[in-house]
């Protein structure tokens, strides 16, 4: 099996859509997750959680839904942290699309579009 031009070997059969495989990395092999896509193993590119508790985050962040988010009291706190997340909502910095979503499901978009990143595209 090849992934991103590198040869990988399946360590055990894929069960229920997931499997383990070795991937060559500098200095040895690393185990990485694989998922089944139409019967073939492919890299799992879904976002994985950054945290399970606030202790996993920086002191200026909190863990919400598996991700470390910067805390704030005003929009200026967010703008000074990162201009891509300029809105202070519910005590954490968010992007404009997160704070004011145009959509949250595909049903809110026309039939030719999907809801991606809270925007019909």
The confidence score (pLDDT) of residue 50 equals 86
Q: What is the mean pLDDT of residues 30-47?
A: 65
Looking at the structure, do residues 25 and 62 belong to the same domain, yes or no? no
Domain that holds residue 22: 2-43
Task: Give DSSP secondary structure letters for 68-111.
Answer: EEEB-SSHHHHHHH-TTS-EEETTEEE-HHHHS-S-SSGGGS-T
104, 92: one domain? yes
Judgement on whether residues 81 and 53 belong to the same structural domain of the protein: yes
Where residue 59 falls among pLDDT bands split at 50, 70, 90? very high
Look at residue 37 in the predicted model and tell me its pLDDT: 59
* Spatial contact of 86 and 75, defined as CB atoms under 8 Å apart: yes
Pair 72, 25 in one domain = no
State the Cα–Cα distance between residues 80 and 71, nearest whole angstrom. Answer: 12
Residues 35 and 53 in one domain: no
- Do 80 and 34 belong to one domain? no
Q: Are residues 64 and 79 in the same domain?
A: yes
Same domain, yes or no: 26 and 51? no
* pLDDT at site 51: 95
pLDDT digits (tens, 9 = 90+) for 65-104: 899 999 999 999 999 999 999 999 999 999 998 999 999 9
What per-residue confidence (pLDDT) applies to 9? Answer: 46
Question: How many domains does the structure of the chain reveal?
Answer: 2
């Amino acid at each position: 099996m090849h992934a991103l031009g590198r040869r990988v070997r399946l360590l055990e059969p894929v069960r229920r859509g997931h499997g383990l495989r070795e991937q060559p990395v500098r200095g040895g092999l690393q185990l990485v997750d694989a998922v089944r896509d139409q019967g073939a193993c492919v890299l799992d590119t879904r976002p994985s959680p950054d945290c399970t508790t606030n202790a996993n985050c920086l002191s200026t962040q909190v863990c919400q839904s598996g991700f470390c988010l910067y805390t704030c009291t005003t929009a200026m706190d967010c703008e000074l942290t990162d201009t891509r997340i300029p809105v202070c909502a519910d005590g954490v910095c968010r992007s404009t699309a997160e704070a004011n979503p145009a959509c949250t499901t595909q049903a809110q978009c026309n039939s030719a579009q999907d809801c991606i990143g809270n925007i019909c595209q």
